[in-house]
Structure 1
């Protein structure tokens, strides 16, 4: 039975999609069977991994228009495409009974065929994110170590508490990790230290440095290991994958 990990943060632009793509690719390289699911209406995970014309996507599958379709990307790695129509998911399904469990029901038949399912959540705490939290075992929260970094994190942790009590007692925070990190900057170092003190045991040892290659790879539809395997970004995500595998 696969383990479902959700990459989430209410703040946008923190490297959530980049992390979903590259952690997924790193797990696949380590021999794990990985399914990525693009739940962000911007569908950047789908576009950034080179899937341009996907006839079937997660939104249509959630609506029951067709069965869940996973598009193979590399050995051990497949992707369920995203859709801009996900922005209207709450309006369409908001009054439906058990609406929080639609994603869980959709993923249940494929869980035996995967070791990991990674969910790229939207930067909003709406019904799509609630569906992700209701079926995940662990959340991973990318953060930039800068002012107000903890604001979005607090809201995520509050929602985790409510979801754990009402919908998914198995849900936990797998870890918080820093992206676009530059240890030479005093503010970044101090913020990182403050968050480690605030959330002991939750902040991971691994961090992702600022990297030009990480920004370039999605424009070519590639993960960092395919695009620049010797880069700092590849080394950092390899370390993060290794840490996730031990948790």
Structure 2
């Protein structure tokens, strides 16, 4: 039975999609069977991994219009495509009984086919995010090492506490990690040190450095390992995956 990981932050632009793609690809490179699920209406995960016109996506499957489709990407790595229509999920399913568990029920058959399912969560708190938290075992939170980059952290931590009490007692936070990190910037170093002091058990050792290749890879429909295997981004995500596997 696979483990479901949610990559999440209530703030946008902190590297959730980049991290979902590259943690997933990194896990696949270790021999783990991985399925990525694009839950962000921007569908950047889907487009960034080369799926341009998916006939079936997670939104249609959640609405029961068709069976869930999994698109193979490479050895051990596959994707459930996203849809811009996910922005209307609250309106479509907001009045339904057990609406927070629709994603959990949908993904249940995939758990026997994979070792890990990674959820790329949208920013903000809506029904899609609640569904992700209701079915995940572990959350990982990417952060930028600056004041505005950590604004969403407390919201996530408070939401996890409520979810543990009400919907998913198995939910835990696997860790926080820094993206777009530059050790030469004083603000980045100070923010990192401060959060390590505040959350010593949550802040992971691995950081993702600023890397041109990480920004370029999605434009070619590739993960960082396929696009630039010797880049700083590939090195950092490989180290992060190793750390995740040992926690």
The TM-score range, normalised by the shorter chain, is: over 0.9
4+ residue runs over 6 A deviation: none
Normalised TM-score (structure 2): 0.99
Give me the whole-angstrom Cα distance separating, in 2, the residues matched to 1:203 and 1:172. 14
Give me the whole-angstrom Cα distance separating, in 1, the residues matched to 2:201 and 2:175. 8
Structure 2 residue matching 1:242: 3-state secondary structure: helix
Q: CA deviation at 1:50?
A: 0.3
Q: CA deviation at 1:147?
A: 1.3
Give me the whole-angstrom Cα distance separating, in 1, the residues matched to 2:171 and 2:223. 28
Give me the whole-angstrom Cα distance separating, in 2, the residues matched to 1:151 and 1:42. 21
Give me the whole-angstrom Cα distance separating, in 1, the residues matched to 2:139 and 2:119. 9
Question: What does the per-residue CA deviation read over 1:50-101, in whole Å, with 9 as the maximum and x for residues that have no partner?
Answer: 0001000000000001111000000000000000000000001001000000
Q: CA deviation at 1:149?
A: 3.2
| Residue 177 (structure 1) aligns with | 177
Give me the whole-angstrom Cα distance separating, in 1, the residues matched to 2:29 and 2:226. 10
Question: What does the per-residue CA deviation read over 1:156-183, in whole Å, with 9 as the maximum and x for residues that have no partner?
Answer: 0110000000000000000100000001
| Residue 154 (structure 1) aligns with | 154
Give me the whole-angstrom Cα distance separating, in 2, the residues matched to 1:34 and 1:223. 14
Give me the whole-angstrom Cα distance separating, in 1, the residues matched to 2:37 and 2:151. 26
| Residue 15 (structure 1) aligns with | 15
Structure 2 residue matching 1:141: 3-state secondary structure: strand
Tell me the matched-pair count. Answer: 247
Normalised TM-score (structure 1): 0.99
Unaligned residue ranges in structure 1 (runs of 5+): none
| Residue 232 (structure 2) aligns with | 232
Give me the whole-angstrom Cα distance separating, in 1, the residues matched to 2:51 and 2:120. 15
User: What RMSD over aligned residues (CA atoms) do the two structures have, in Å?
Assistant: 0.6
| Residue 143 (structure 2) aligns with | 143
